[in-house]
Chains A and B, each alone.
Chain A
């Protein structure tokens, strides 16, 4: 009797030993890696008092008039780098993405294109920026080059993937009406991928804006250089002022790209914008919004 009750009421969520062992292994790895990297409690505690000093020196942020001028100059340059790099990157990644799509272009073209894209993707913008600084010298030009490479890797790959997912029926229909290759692209392929392409582009513009504030650290123009030299001069209140300006700029950029998506993908108009009941969330490619 008792045994049958115990059997009927056994834990519906029994312990799963492989999972537990997995967590233990993870914990063991953490301890081992922390020891490898020489994390010690004493270092952490001494860091905390450092951090306190650091924070008191950061406040209040220094927006003095000469500093403000430097911030505006740096941010303008960053913004220009981001805009130009995005434009060039988008212009090149249209044909590159098309070449890399395996359903529309022959293998001898798609594999080299895919390799080129993988090469562009695997290096961080800062490393590419170092190479460009060596090639074209300090300044905004190097930053533009670095961000163009980064944009190529990202947009072309996603664009190629999007083209590979299109429906070939429409392409066939356009082709059977005797259209040239260019017409097949404009009327059969592009309408199917335009929305997603626009999504990638706005995302990349956003991400170029973030990265353009950083490539200056290696001398490739923009506000990053100002930020880095402020760090080296221990000018922490100016650092905080720069950081606040960067975050504001990026935040505004994010809002703008949301508006752009709403206008182009949801066909929203200004009158709908202010109508309360039509307030749907703008369409965003999932998993893209960093």
Chain B
């Protein structure tokens, strides 16, 4: 009889305590941040007026600016994104393979490869761009390298995980008939990870189009440069043209990628 009156609980006391601790930490962090951060309330009062001013100055747009400098910059941006993605795939392929434990069964090398991937991801593309500008000077070369180096971590991690999930069967079969290592990779692993590889590449290209649009703000070429120069001249009608172009290109790229993905992969 006592079973009926028993109180059922979803979590054990220990689970509840640790969950509560996390909620508590989250709220405490939020409260502390909100109290500590520096606000300048005067700036907030005239924000609506500033935003209104911003849009008034943007309208009407300056359509001649597109033909004059945005179009060439846009092509440059797309080239930076595409070349950066290709370069990153070339570098990420071996690094990702070294990070996969079933392909290279040697822990120190796996960890070294993973360290490379983590540091590539942690540095932002703008910061990579600043580093490469210091080395190669301002321009599209720095932008392309920045895009490539930022993407290595992302692509290498996903590709390495795809390799680790590859099935043993075909690989054992190839090893059993005495295929050399290179053939095991090309005929055993590659066909299994090929769809993942191409979908990662497409996905990253989509992200890189977005990222390469801002690289120009620090001088690494592309459409961001056109935007930066228009902003420095306070030509907000031209900035509006650039923003609209970026919006359209990003949407088209996303639609294109999802269409290709549906049809091919």
B39: min CB distance to chain A, Å: 6
Q: Are B44 and A83 in contact (CB under 8 A)?
A: no
Question: Would you give the 0/1 interface string for A29-53, flagging 1 where the beta carbon is closer than 8 Å to chain B?
Answer: 1100110111100011001001100
CB distance from B159 to the nearest CB of A (A): 12
Given A127-B213, A139-B40, output 12 extra A-B contacts at Cβ < 8 Å.
A29-B82, A37-B80, A43-B141, A87-B30, A119-B247, A122-B246, A122-B250, A122-B251, A130-B231, A139-B43, A141-B44, A263-B18
Q: Smallest distance from the beta carbon of A90 to chain B beta carbons, Å? A: 10
Number of interface residues of B (CB under 8 A): 66
Asked whether A271 lies within 8 Å of B14 as measured between CB atoms, the reply is yes
Q: Which of A39, A126, A231, A270 contacts B214 (CB 8 A)?
A: A126
B157 to A, closest residue via Cβ: A289
Please name all residues of chain A whose beta carbon is closer than 8 Å to the beta carbon of B246 when the two chains form the complex.
122-123, 127
B124–A33 touching, CB < 8 Å: no
| Pairwise interchain contact A251-B210, C-beta atoms closer than 8 A | no
Measured between beta carbons, the chain A residues less than 8 angstroms from B118 are 251
Known: A43-B136, A210-B122. A228 touches B130 (CB 8 A): yes
Q: Which residues of B contact A13 (CB under 8 A)?
A: 187
CB of A124 within 8 A of CB of B211, answer yes
- Chain B residues with CB under 8 Å of A231's CB are 130, 134
Which residues of chain A have C-beta atoms less than 8 A from B75's C-beta? 36
Within 8 A of B (CB), among A8-40: 13, 26, 29-30, 33-34, 36-39
* Chain A interface residues (CB < 8 Å from chain B): 13, 26, 29-30, 33-34, 36-39, 43-44, 47, 50-51, 54, 76-77, 79-81, 83-84, 87, 118-119, 122-124, 126-127, 130-131, 134-137, 139-141, 210-211, 213-214, 217-218, 227-228, 231, 236, 243, 246-247, 250-251, 260, 263-264, 267, 269-271, 287, 289-290
A24 to chain B minimum Cβ distance, whole angstroms, is 14
Shortest distance from the beta carbon of A96 to any chain B beta carbon, whole Å: 19
Q: A136–B214 contact, CB under 8 A?
A: no
Query: Shortest Cβ distance from A129 into chain B, in angstroms?
Result: 10
Instruction: Say yes or no: A264-B134 contact (C-beta < 8 A), given A37-B83, A37-B144, A123-B246.
Output: no
Q: Is the interface of A mostly helix, strand, loop or mixed?
A: helix
Is A260 touching B22 in the complex (CB atoms < 8 A)? Answer: yes
Residues on the B chain within 8 Å of A269, using CB: 12, 14-15, 18
Cα distance A37–B83 in the bound complex, in angstroms: 10
Query: A242: nearest residue on chain B (CB-CB)?
Result: B127
Q: Are A126 and B217 in contact (CB under 8 A)?
A: yes
Docked-complex contact A33 and B38, CB < 8 angstroms: no
Return 11 A-B CB contacts under 8 Å, by A number. Answer: A26-B86, A33-B83, A119-B247, A123-B246, A126-B126, A139-B40, A264-B22, A269-B12, A271-B14, A289-B157, A290-B153
A166 to chain B, nearest CB (A): 20
> A83 touching B40 by the CB < 8 A rule?
no
